[in-house]
Amino acid sequence: MVAVPQAKDIENKENTRKTVLSIDDLHVWFELKRFGFGHAGYVKAVDGVTFDIHESETIAVVGESGCGKSSLMKTILALYKPTKGKIVFDNKDLSELDNKGLHWYRSHVGYVQQDPYGALAPFMTVQRILEEPLIVGGIKDKENRIQRIHKAMEEVKLTPVNDFLQKFPHMLSGGQQQRVVIARAMIMEPKLLVADEPVSMLDASVRVEILKLLSNLQEKHNLSVIYITHDLSTVSYFSERIFVMYAGNLVEKAKVRQVVDNPLHPYTMALLTGTSEPDAKNAETFKELPPGEPPSLVNPPTGCRFHPRCSKVIKGLCDVKFPPEFEPEPGHLVACWLYQ
Amino acid sequence: MTALKNSIRDLLRYPSAILGSVILLFLLAVSVYALVTIPYSEAVRLWRGGEEVWYQNPKYAAPAWFNIFYSKKKPVSFSVRTTDGSMSKATTPSSDPEISTVDITYSFDYAYEGVPQELMIYFTSQFKDKFSFVSVSWITPDGRTIRIADMAVDHSLTFRFSQDQKLQKRLKTEDVMQAIFMDPESSTQADLKGQYQLVINGTTFEKDATIDAEFVLHGELFGAAGTDKYRRDLLLPLLYGTPIALAFGLLAALGTSLLTMVIAAAGTWYGGWVDELIQRITEVNLVLPFLAILIMVGTFYSRSIWLMLGVTILLSIFSGSIKSYRSIFIQSKESSYIEAARAYGASSSRIIFSYLIPRMIPLLIPALVSAVPSFVFLEASLAVLGLGDPVLPTWGKVINDAFADGALYQGRYYWVLEPAILLMITGFGFAMLGFALDRIFNPRLRDI
Ligand SMILES: Nc1ncnc2c1ncn2[C@@H]1O[C@H](COP(=O)(O)OP(=O)(O)OP(=O)(O)O)[C@@H](O)[C@H]1O
Ligand code: SF4
Ligand SMILES: [Mg+2]
């Protein structure tokens, strides 16, 4: 079983905390082209996702490969335009922001990517890499920029700073590279951090360090974090809530403890059996996936998208009608007909 | 700074790079020398000048150092003058203050086989009313003194030995050169080798009157580079052609490489119709007859080298390399550092110039260096086709003139070979450096 964070009095805070980001019925569809021009349907990578994230709240999004996690994040990062639905940040609808507004939004959202080496331009020094967001963010004073670079690098423990400033990414270890990526995400002092599988490409030995670093930063800066992972075992490091994603939908949303102690969705149950500790020797993920193929996102199964693989399928219902969200226990939402 | 040092150290590991760099540095030095010593307007004036500028030079003279290869040395041209002291002049006043004598002498060693093409004296004299007077004589190595001419000197006067009829009569031959350079005693028509002396005794009949003279020998060889049909010293176009060739080659290579890269990057980045348009233009451009268009522009519009440069760049931008750059940019475009840059709000132009293009610089630099020779050759080819810049002395122009005059049929190889060798050396230098740069910047090629 999974280690769960010490019970803070999350519940009481919950209602008083401000909403930072609010996602409403978000759809992200990619058009499929036949022979480069003919229309051949859509890849429904995100298909009706709704959630809120509050100030200093941390959310983990889990799900198997290809279920649309990255598409969801990239849409939040305004890299993709939503096909339908709304993203509201700090009470401002992203679709209504002009260029300046979008700049403002981008400076409030940090992005930590999966592959640290690919995420760093190979021809830029660490200093240049960290300076870029500052230049783009309109910080004209070089002194000021250097100062902020130093500060960010100290925060991610790339010290002594001067030893690293003039290095190129290939001169750094994977862990150090990821620290640079995190420093870059933090350099504009964002409110929200999006981390897309930040440790999955790293050596098992440095995973825990990086997760602890992220968790420390989160606490220190009251960051809201959306943490995407394959690996349920790493969730406990700094997440309050877990969203389980399946074929473009969030099928279960609840506090970590609730999900771990009492998984409700059959898919979540299947996932949990495949979880291991992050620092364990054989930190593999999703060993025992539910049997069957992952669903097609172009022609998703009718009704509940999990029904072809579900062991508890209710014939005549699950395969016909799409399950709405039910709330069998307070704060624990699940999209499954079992809880109707 | 250290990066620069490192690349230079890397470069020095390749002999081809050293050779290439030495050649290019030499050409660069020649260019600087040419530009510093010969101002642009002077270069144009000399190149377009005719007899009045180049009278001192023989026609069709091979370079003087050709004598190294001849066992029978050919006469080398020279010219000396009193105005710069290369020919001695002594003025002696006489008892009459109005009259003075001017003695000009010049002795030279003549150790060549055969006789010169021509001897000339250019007199200049200053006076108000009364003409000055000179008598010219010639002292041969065996001590004979030959009277050449006695004449009054106007403000300027050109005396050509072989065309002076009085002299022909006096020597009883039409061939003055034979007469004054040959040993009359010899049965075998051999010329006399040894010290000859030209003596000019002048008299002026006014107080401030002067006489100056320039003595010119037209041999069969001349200077470091020889001369052409118009007596022009070929050193001028060879020297001055260097900066022009380098400038044309470098500017064209730089212009096309950079623009091609920027266009390929922009097309890839924006995608959609921009990319489509660029692709189609490239395809059309690839089948356009490049040289034919240049010839048309040259024939109907202008042959200015700068216009040609512009058209060349324009026609070379949408080249095949746009496609190969594009395929690499498509990969870079998907890289996560560019995604990160978009996430923190970098603009499209910033992404193109600071993220896409810098990645390509390792490919760009060797390609750029290797592209230079083809543009240098292009410029020369245009000139050979008669589309060279009408006023500038260039290597291609020399070849063009040589061809037009049938130099190769007449055995005047130097005329064609000199510019051709310079062209080859230039191409070779850039190619050598390009190879080495390619290996340094693209290490995967090292083993190939
Ligand atoms: N730009 C795109 N154009 C077309 N299809 C896309 C695009 N991006 C993602 N997809 C498709 O959308 C689906 C979801 O992809 P996404 O990257 O969001 O999955 P993921 O959950 O992040 O997977 P992983 O865990 O492997 O990273 C996939 O089928 C993918 O092929
Ligand atoms: S809705 Fe039905 S098919 Fe879907 S997960 Fe629940 S039980 Fe299984
Ligand atoms: Mg992903």
B2-49 pLDDT, tens digit each: 667 877 888 888 888 899 999 999 999 999 999 999 999 999 999 988
Q: Is B189 exposed, middle or buried (0-12, 13-18, 19+ CB in 10 A)?
A: exposed
Look up residue B363 and give its amino acid.
Answer: L
Q: Is B420 exposed, middle or buried (0-12, 13-18, 19+ CB in 10 A)?
A: middle
Q: pLDDT (tens digit, 9 = 90+) per residue, B422-440?
A: 999 999 999 999 988 888 8
Mutate to test the interface with A, among B275, B334, B337 (most CBs of A within 10 A): B337
What average pLDDT does range B309-330 have in this prediction?
90
| H helices present in B189-234, as ranges | none
Residue B65 falls within a domain, yes or no? no
Residue pair A322/A339 in contact (Cβ under 8 Å)? The answer is no
CATH number reported for the structural domain that contains residue B417 in this entry: 1.10.3720
Crossing angle of the two packed helices B395-404 and B357-382, in degrees rounded to 10: 30
Confidence of residue A72 (pLDDT cuts 50, 70, 90): very high
Decide if pLDDT at A1 tops 70: no
pTM above 0.95, yes or no: no
- How many A/B residue pairs have CB atoms within 8 Å? 57
Tell which CATH classification among 3.40.50.300, 3.30.300.30, 3.90.1150.10, 3.40.50.1110 matches the domain A18-275+290-298: 3.40.50.300
Q: Is A121 on the interface with B (CB under 8 A)?
A: yes
Greatest alpha-carbon span in chain A: 67
Check CB contact under 8 Å for B344 and A74: no
Length of chain A in terms of residues written: 340
Same domain, residue pair B166 and B201: yes
Same domain, residue pair B362 and B313: yes
Compute the distance between CA of residue A31 and CA of residue B126 in angstroms, rounded to an integer.
Answer: 95
Compute the distance between CA of residue B257 and CA of residue B132 in angstroms, rounded to an integer.
Answer: 67
- Least CB–CB distance from B350: residue in A106, A122, A136: A136
The phi and psi torsions of B334 (rounded to 5 degrees) equal: -85, -5
The phi and psi torsions of B123 (rounded to 5 degrees) equal: -100, 140
- Domain layout of chain A by residue ranges: 18-275+290-298
- Residue A10 has a pLDDT of 45
Q: Is B345 on the interface with A (CB under 8 A)?
A: yes
Q: pLDDT (tens digit, 9 = 90+) per residue, A73-120?
A: 999 999 999 999 999 998 899 989 998 999 999 999 999 999 999 999
Compute the distance between CA of residue B58 and CA of residue B75 in angstroms, rounded to an integer.
Answer: 11
Q: Which residue has the tokens 């003075």?
A: B100
| ipTM greater than 0.90 | no
Mutate to test the pocket of ligand 1, among A30, A228, A249 (most ligand atoms within 8 A of CB): A30
Same domain, residue pair B158 and B289: no
Same domain, residue pair B239 and B209: no
Compute the distance between CA of residue A127 and CA of residue A147 in angstroms, rounded to an integer.
Answer: 11
What average pLDDT does range B270-282 have in this prediction?
92
| CB within 8 Å of B187: residues ≥ 6 apart | none
Compute the distance between CA of residue B87 and CA of residue B107 in angstroms, rounded to an integer.
Answer: 9
Distance from CA of B281 to the nearest CA of A (A): 20
**Does A28 contact ligand 1 (Cβ within 6 A)?**
no
Decide if pLDDT at A300 tops 70: yes
Length of chain B in terms of residues written: 448
Token pair recorded at residue A262: 């009492």
CATH number reported for the structural domain that contains residue B187 in this entry: 2.60.120
Residue B180 falls within a domain, yes or no? yes
Residue B95 falls within a domain, yes or no? yes
Alpha-carbon distance values, A180 to B38, B140, B218 (Å): 56, 91, 77
Q: Is B443 exposed, middle or buried (0-12, 13-18, 19+ CB in 10 A)?
A: exposed
Look up residue A139 and give its amino acid.
Answer: I
Decide if pLDDT at A3 tops 50: no
- Residue B96 has a pLDDT of 86
Pairing of strands A192-196, A241-246: unpaired
